[in-house]
């Protein structure tokens, strides 16, 4: 287990879970335009689901879908289990979906993975989807490390969508957008989102 995994599995991850309970309305607003861009979503996998706020929002938008969360922190898994059909106790770096979902995604998760481990994260995210992939993360055109609540080596910004498009030639960009922390109604955390779709190879 690497130092980032230990960090999120432990006390800091549990405190993070408590700080981020709720926010369902903001997450519904975040996912509504994304879901509208997709078709026939019957299953979803979130890598790094935390306390399940994103899954709760998707449950309201996709009431019949099978929702799966993958989470390393035990406290977060307990909360997430209220909103998902199943929550897998695992690091997303080690996760291999037994059955790919129609839609796999991360939101505020890839930014916390050390650059040397990103390929494993991308492999898990790509393998968890049979059609759509969404990343909602902090964006930077060039990779940059940011201090995170007084901790070094815990947060990096980069162009995650470009990495995925360059790595997997069957992916195409569907659309992208931005959620602003000063939105007067539905605040997020200055996240750029990118929706990608797998396309048949010629």
Dihedral angle, C-alpha 55, 59, 64, 66, nearest 10 °: 10
pTM to 2 decimals? 0.87
CATH of domain 3-198: 3.40.50.150
The pair of three-digit structure tokens given for residue 31, joined into one six-digit string = 């996912």
Give the rounded distance of the alpha carbon of 84 from its chain centre.
15
Report the distance separating Cα 154 and Cα 111, nearest Å. 8
φ and ψ of 54, to 5 deg? -70, -40
Q: What's the pLDDT tens digit per position in 117-173?
A: 999 999 999 999 999 999 999 999 999 998 877 666 789 999 999 999 999 999 999
Helices (H) and strands (E) in the chain, counts: 7, 9
Q: What's the pLDDT tens digit per position in 182-201?
A: 887 787 878 999 999 999 76
């Amino acid at each position: 287990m690497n130092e980032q995994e230990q960090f999120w599995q432990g006390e800091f991850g549990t405190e993070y879970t408590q700080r981020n309970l709720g926010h369902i309305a903001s997450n519904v607003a975040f996912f509504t335009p994304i879901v509208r861009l997709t078709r026939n979503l019957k299953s979803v996998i979130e890598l790094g689901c935390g306390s399940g706020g994103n899954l709760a929002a998707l449950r309201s938008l996709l009431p019949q879908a099978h929702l799966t969360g993958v989470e390393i922190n035990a406290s977060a898994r307990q909360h997430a289990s209220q909103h998902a059909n199943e929550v897998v106790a695992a690091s997303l770096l080690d996760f291999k979906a037994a059955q790919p979902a129609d839609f796999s995604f991360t939101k505020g998760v890839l930014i916390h993975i050390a650059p040397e481990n990103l390929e494993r994260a991308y492999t898990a995210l790509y393998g968890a989807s049979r059609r759509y992939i969404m990343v909602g993360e902090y964006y930077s055109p060039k990779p940059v490390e940011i201090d995170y609540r007084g901790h070094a080596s815990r947060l990096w910004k980069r162009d995650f969508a470009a990495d995925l498009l360059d790595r997997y030639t069957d992916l195409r960009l569907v659309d992208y957008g931005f959620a602003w922390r000063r939105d007067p109604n539905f605040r997020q955390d200055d996240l750029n989102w990118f929706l990608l779709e797998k396309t048949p190879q010629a």
